[in-house]
Structure 1
Amino acid sequence: MLQVFLKTLPFFALIALGYGAARTRFFTAEATAYLTKFVFYFALSAMLFRFSANLSLSDILDWTFVSAYLLGTTAIYLVATIVALVRKRGLREAAVEAQCAVIGNVGFLGIPMLALLLGDQAIGPVMLVLAVDLIVFGSLIVILVGGGQEKQANVFASALLGLIRNPMIVSISLGLAWSALDIPIPAPMNEFLTLLGAAATPGALFAIGASLASKSAERISVAGWLTFCKLVLHPGAVAICALILFPVSQSAAAIMIAAAALPVAGNVYILAQHYQVAPARVSAAILVSTVLSVASLPVVIAWVTTLGP
C-alpha cells in the first residue's frame, strides 16, 4: 500500500505544482487553456496513436469487458440520476450530476498513470474504457442536456460531430487503422511520436492542477455525494460486474476497476459550462474528487494488484 502510494505521489505532485503555479498567478488562465489545448490535440493524440498503432482491434475489443464496464457504470449513472431527480433538480441537472458520478479523468490521468503502475498490458483496456466513456456517455450527456435547447436532429448531429472532432477518438481510430494495414511505423515517425507523446504525461498533469485553481468548493455536500459515487460506488459496481456478473480475466478486471476509481474528468465541466447547467456543482466535484483521490486511488490500485493474472 505504501509502495503504491509512493509510486502515485509524483503524479499528484505534478498536479499540485500546476495548482500552485496557477493559484499564485504565475501561470495564467490563458496559459492553462493553451497548455490544455496542446496536450489534448497534440501530445496526448501522439501518445494514443502510437499506442493503438502497435495494437490490433482484437487486442482492444472485448465485448465481455465492455459489457461489465457498461453495466457497472450505467448502474451508478442511474443511481446518481435518481438521487438528483428526487432532489427535484430536473433532467438536465441530473444528467450532469450522473456524468460526474461515472466519468473519470481517463485520458489525462488514467492512461499515463495506469500504464506505468500496471504495465503496458493496461493500455488496451484503459483505451477501451476511454472509448466507452466518450462514445456512450459523452453522446448521452449531449442528448439529455442539449435536447431541451435544440431540435432532436440537431442534438444527434452535435453528438456525432463531437465524436468525430474528438482528437482522442480520432487518434485511436487512426492508430488502429494503421495497425490493421500492418505497416511498420517508420523510425523517424516513431521517434517523433515518442518525443511528442512524452510531453503528454507531465503536460496533462500540470494542466489538471492549473485548471483546479479556478475551481470552487461551493455546494460541498453535493460535491461530496458525487465524489463518493465516483471514487467508491463506481469502482465497486464495476468490480461486481467484472468479477462476478461478466467475469473477465483478473488483470483486465484490475485495470477496469482502477480506471473506474479515477476522479471526475475535467471535460464534464466544459460541457456544464457550455450548456450553463450546474457548472459550480461540477467544479466542486472535480476539485473534491481529485483531492480525495490522492488517498483513495492508491488503496484501489494496491487492492487490484493482488487480483493476479
Structure 2
Amino acid sequence: MPIVSIIFPIMFIVALGYGLTRTGFFNKEHIAGISKFTFYVSIPAFLFINMLVAPLAQSIDPFSLLAFYIPVLFVFAIGYLINRYCGVKSQQRSDASAVFALGCSYSNTVIVGLPVITAALGKAMIGSIFMIITFHSAFLFALTFALASRAQQDGFSWRNFTRSMLLNPVVLSITLGIVANGLSLNLGEQLNDGLVLLAKPALACALFVLGANLSFYRIGDNWRLALIASSLKILLLPALVYVMAAMVFQLSGQNTAMLVLLSASPLGVNAYLIATEIKQHQATLGSTVVLSTLLSVLSFSLWLTWLM
C-alpha cells in the first residue's frame, strides 16, 4: 500500500478539524461536546467491541510488552535527567523533571497510533495494540505522579490514582472487553449491531478532535524544550523500540511494525493535562503536542517506508 494512502486520510481529518476550528466554525464548547461523545461513548464502544472478538491467546506477548516499555522507560529517564541537570534552574525540581520526562515518552496511542496501524497493518493487530494501550497511561502517569510527589507537599494518593485509572473510559472498555472475551459472552445481534454502529465514527472523531485541539495550542517561547522533547519522542523512542523488537527479541515483522508505529506517535494531549495538574511545564508540553504532531507526519512516513 502506498505510504500516501495511509497518511493522507488521517492528516486530512486532522487538518479539517484544525481548519474548521481555527476559522471559528467550531468553538471550544462545540469541540468539548464532540470530545465528550468521542472519548466517553464512541471510542469505548470501539475498544470494547474489538477487544470482544480479538484473539487474546495470540495477543498476549510479554516480549512485545518488554520491547515497547523498556525503551519508553529509558527515554523517560533521559528526559528526566536532561531537565534535572541541563534545564532552567527554576525548573530543575523533581516534579518539573517528571513532567518533562512524560512529554518525551508518552504516545498518543489511541487517537493517532491506532488509526495509522489499522490503516497500515489491518485490524488483525488490534488485540496486540490494546495490550500495549491498556498499561500505557497507567504506567507513565503513575511514574510521573510518584516522582512529582517528592517535590510537592500534598504527595501522591495511590487510592485516587487507581480509582481514576480504573474508571478511565479507555482502560475500562478494554478491561470489560477482555472479561467478556474470556467468558465468551454473547451480546445478542441487536446490542452488538448497536455497539458496532456507535464504534464506526470513533477514529474519525478522535482525529477531528485532535486537529481542533491543536488550534487552541501554540508553539511559544519554550520551543527549544519542545523541540528536544519532540525529538526524543518521535525520533529516539521508535528507533530504540525497533532495536529491541527486531534485534533483541526478534519479533515478527508485523509485531515490530506495530510497536514502532505506536512509539512514533506524537505526544498525547493527556500529558498536557497532567502538566496542568502538577503545575509544571504546561507551556512546554502544550508546544510539544503541536510540534510532535506536525513532525510525526515525517516520522510516520519514514518508518512506514522502512517497515512496509
- TM-score calculated relative to the size of structure 1: 0.93
Residue 302 (1) aligns with residue 301 (2): no
**Structure 1 residue 188, shift from structure 2 partner:** 1.2
Letter in 2 for 1:211: N
**Structure 1 residue 151, shift from structure 2 partner:** 4.8
Matched with 1:34 is 33
Q: What is the aligned counterpart of 2:105 among 99, 102, 112?
A: 102
The answer to whether the 8 A contact 1:66-1:132 is kept is: no
Q: How far apart are the structure 2 equivalents of 1:78 and 1:26? A: 42
Matched with 1:252 is 255
Matched with 1:25 is 24
1:93-146 Cα deviation digits (max 9, x unpaired):
111111111111111122122112211122122212212312211221222234
Q: What is the aligned counterpart of 2:129 among 126, 134, 153?
A: 126
Letter in 2 for 1:250: G
Q: How far apart are the structure 1 equivalents of 2:144 and 2:58? A: 29
Q: How far apart are the structure 1 equivalents of 2:233 and 2:286? A: 14
- Residues 123-202 of structure 1 correspond to what in structure 2 (within 5 A)? 123-146=126-149, 148-149=151-152, 151-152=154-155, 154-202=156-204
1:76-103 Cα deviation digits (max 9, x unpaired):
1111111111124221111111111111
**Structure 1 residue 246, shift from structure 2 partner:** 2.5
SS in 1 for 2:157: helix
**Structure 1 residue 150, shift from structure 2 partner:** 5.6
Q: How far apart are the structure 2 equivalents of 1:254 and 1:118? A: 8
SS in 2 for 1:299: helix
SS in 2 for 1:182: coil
SS in 2 for 1:185: coil
SS in 2 for 1:262: coil
Q: What is the aligned counterpart of 2:270 among 261, 267, 274?
A: 267
Q: Return closer, same or farther for 1:206/1:25 CA change in 2, 3 Å cut-off.
A: same
SS in 1 for 2:134: helix
Q: What is the percentage of aligned positions where both structures have the same residue?
A: 25
The answer to whether the 8 A contact 1:39-1:204 is kept is: yes
The answer to whether the 8 A contact 1:14-1:202 is kept is: yes
Residue 44 (1) aligns with residue 43 (2): yes
- Residues 67-86 of structure 1 correspond to what in structure 2 (within 5 A)? 67-86=66-85
Structure 1 gap segments, 5+ residues each? none
SS in 1 for 2:209: helix
Q: Return closer, same or farther for 1:246/1:168 CA change in 2, 3 Å cut-off.
A: same
Q: How far apart are the structure 2 equivalents of 1:164 and 1:24? A: 38
Q: How far apart are the structure 2 equivalents of 1:242 and 1:77? A: 18
Structure 2 gap segments, 5+ residues each? none
SS in 2 for 1:26: coil
Which runs of structure 1 show a deviation greater than 4 angstroms over 4 or more consecutive aligned residues? none
How many residues of Structure 1 are paired with residues of Structure 2 in the alignment?
303
Q: Return closer, same or farther for 1:46/1:147 CA change in 2, 3 Å cut-off.
A: farther
**Structure 1 residue 59, shift from structure 2 partner:** 3.0
- TM-score calculated relative to the size of structure 2: 0.93
Q: Return closer, same or farther for 1:10/1:56 CA change in 2, 3 Å cut-off.
A: closer
